[in-house]
Amino acid sequence: MSTETKKMNFTEIVKGDRPVLVDFYADWCGPCKMMGPILKDLKKRLGDDINIIKIDAEKNPQAAIKYQVRGVPTLILFKEGQILWQQAGVVQISQLEQIITQKIAEYEQAGRA
């Protein structure tokens, strides 16, 4: 995460123009640990087209409650403050990349309609 991103709060980040993938996780969670390398690869593939942030659901219970995170890992894709997609569990990189690309395209098409 860039230092520029760290200066912004969560709400400012998810309301930005750039899509944001939020990974709600817990330190003790095995499947959450599996998501780490997947998200790193995703960032390499998508580069500056997306922000990826990780939020410890136990240290940030208000955020977890607000977004109805009932299990970890939970991934939520935001664009301009809107939730485009949300899913609990491990998602493989090819599927994750496809979902993100599709949901952003659908959002942008709806905005032009």
Domains recognised in the chain with CATH numbers: 19-108 (3.40.30.10)
pLDDT, the chain, mean: 92
| Nearest CA among 44, 73, 53, 45 for reference residue 12 | 53
pTM assigned to the model: 0.91
pLDDT in tens, 60-107: 999 999 999 999 999 999 999 999 999 999 999 999 999 999 999 999
User: Of 7, 22, 8, 2, nearest to 82 (Cα)?
Assistant: 22
Return the pLDDT at 5.
47
User: In the prediction, which pLDDT does 2 show?
Assistant: 44
Residues noted as catalytic:
29, 32
**Is the predicted pLDDT of residue 3 greater than 50, yes or no?**
no
Q: Which residues of 28-46 are buried (b: 16+ CB within 10 A; e: fewer)?
A: ebeebeebeebbeebbeeb
Is residue 5 within 8 A of residue 51, CB to CB? The reply is: yes
- Residues near 47 by beta carbon (within 8 Å), at least 6 away in sequence: none
Neighbours of 99 (CB within 10 A): 17
Average pLDDT over residues 6-25: 89
Residue 7 reports pLDDT greater than 70:
no
Predicted confidence at residue 113, as pLDDT, reads: 59
